Amino acid sequence: MMNRVLVETTHKTYPVIIGEGAVQEISRVILDIPKAPTRLFVIADEAVYALHGEALRDALPSSLATDWHFVPAGESAKSFSVFEQCLTAMLEAALDRRSLVIAFGGGACGDLAGFCAASYMRGIPFIQVPTTILAHDSAVGGKTAINHPLGKNMIGAFHQPEAVVYDTAFLKSLSEKETRSGFAEVIKHALIADPSLLENIQQSVKSAEDIKGSFLEHCLQRGIEIKSAIVKEDEKETGVRAFLNFGHTYGHAVEALSGYGKTAHGEAVACGMIFALYASQFKNDLSFDTSSFAAWLKRAGYPVKAGTVFSFEDIYAVMTRDKKAYGGTVRFVLLNEVGKPYVTEMTKEELQHIDEHFRKESDTW
């Protein structure tokens, strides 16, 4: 059975179709688009294509001419040169305003293809066919971007897809590291919006191997519902959408200091969530057993101590460089309780105090 979540934004409401075999629905989804597409242009992560390309190829409507364009696997697709190559191929294929771009891959390919669709002739429609767990987050909400040598995601646009077709069968080929990393964003969604989901997750996941099947599908659907409720309220990130950055301020610092790719994004976010939970206890008397939570993440294989190998000064330097920082203070998303996030500024002294506490407690996990 396929499930459907509707994402409502100011100008558009679109479906997320999620389930095992969801890709079989893509023809119907494409033919349902009100302004019938003239042709299709698939931008595919080449590694994903090698694993699952056949399934997508077979499911596309045979009535529409389709071009395929392959991009390097993962983050290296989000570069100016790959972006340019895509646009060149789109021009050569003579796409018009009603041609449809299909993004086939993880969050990286989705961000790139979405930005190509946003830029080509000032914006043409696109569909996301995400293939990672993390992409339950990135495929919904309309943020698209590539990287600049001076900063990740610095060049981009808001551009909502026409639909998201999320076939959970594709997730079975993910490595354990990618599974764990993507699932951190599900844990994030639970912490900022759904205490009972958090409880369910903590009971169900004893190791990364438990992240699968109908349990995973349920978690992804809830994650998408939570994300889409936030996006509905704040499409352009002027308010509550910032809650989605929970765990990301410290997490981004760990990710950057480790060297991108070494500690996966979600692994770093897991560290960042522990930090933000200790900070919430300190600033706000959050009643939560952060040390047991950290110990549980560790058992599930998260590298929870990845931040402790760097000095506080180094971490602080990266956090203040973050685009979300103002002055010497750092903007943080904290919790009043599980499911009740808020944004606050943290001073250097406060952060240093929490960092010391974090390091001390980390001996007990």
DSSP H or E stretch at residue 149 = none
Does residue 93 interact with ligand NAD by CB under 6 A?
no
First to last CA, the chain: 40
**Residue 216, phi then psi, degrees to nearest 5:** -60, -45
Is-catalytic flag, 39?
Answer: no
Q: What gap in Å lies between CA 86 and CA 88, rounded to an integer?
A: 5
Is-catalytic flag, 122?
Answer: yes
Does residue 188 interact with ligand NAD by CB under 6 A?
no
- Contact pattern for ligand NAD over residues 17 through 56, marking x by CB under 6 A: ----------------------------x-xx--x-----
8 A C-beta contact, residue 187 and residue 194: no
Nearer residue to ligand NAD within complex by CB, 48 or 124: 48
Does residue 315 interact with ligand NAD by CB under 6 A?
no
Nearer residue to ligand NAD within complex by CB, 146 or 351: 146
Q: What is the 3-state secondary structure (H, E, C) of 153-208?
A: EEEEEECCCCEEEEEHHHHHHCCHHHHHHHHHHHHHHHHHHCHHHHHHHHHHCCCH
User: By rule CB under 6 A, what count of residues binds ligand NAD?
Assistant: 30
8 A C-beta contact, residue 204 and residue 176: no
The residue range among 85-93, 130-138, 251-259, 269-277 that interacts with ligand NAD, by the rule CB under 6 A, is: 130-138
Is-catalytic flag, 209?
Answer: no
Does residue 251 interact with ligand NAD by CB under 6 A?
no
Is-catalytic flag, 189?
Answer: no
Among residues 19, 107, 125, 251, the one that binds ligand NAD under rule CB under 6 A: 107
8 A C-beta contact, residue 154 and residue 6: no
Does residue 135 interact with ligand NAD by CB under 6 A?
yes
User: What's the burial of 277, exposed, middle or buried (CB within 10 Å: 0-12/13-18/19+)?
Assistant: buried
Residue 112 amino acid letter: L
Strand, coil or helix: 329: strand
Which position among 222, 245, 255, 267 bears the catalytic label?
245
Does residue 211 interact with ligand NAD by CB under 6 A?
no
Does residue 231 interact with ligand NAD by CB under 6 A?
no
Is-catalytic flag, 185?
Answer: yes
In the complex, the smallest distance separating the C-beta of residue 106 from ligand NAD, rounded to whole angstroms, is: 2
Laid out side by side, the sheet with 126-130 consists of: 3-8, 13-19, 163-167, 126-130, 100-105, 40-45, 66-71
Which position among 78, 225, 248, 267 bears the catalytic label?
248
- Contact pattern for ligand NAD over residues 142 through 161, marking x by CB under 6 A: -x---------x--------
Which candidate, 193, 202, 245, places its Cα nearest to that of 222? 193
Residues tagged active-site: 122, 143, 185, 227, 237, 241, 245, 248, 252, 265
Question: Which residues of this chain interact with ligand NAD, rule CB under 6 A?
Answer: 45, 47-48, 51, 73-75, 78, 105-109, 111, 131-132, 134-135, 137-138, 141, 143, 153, 170-171, 173-174, 178, 182, 265
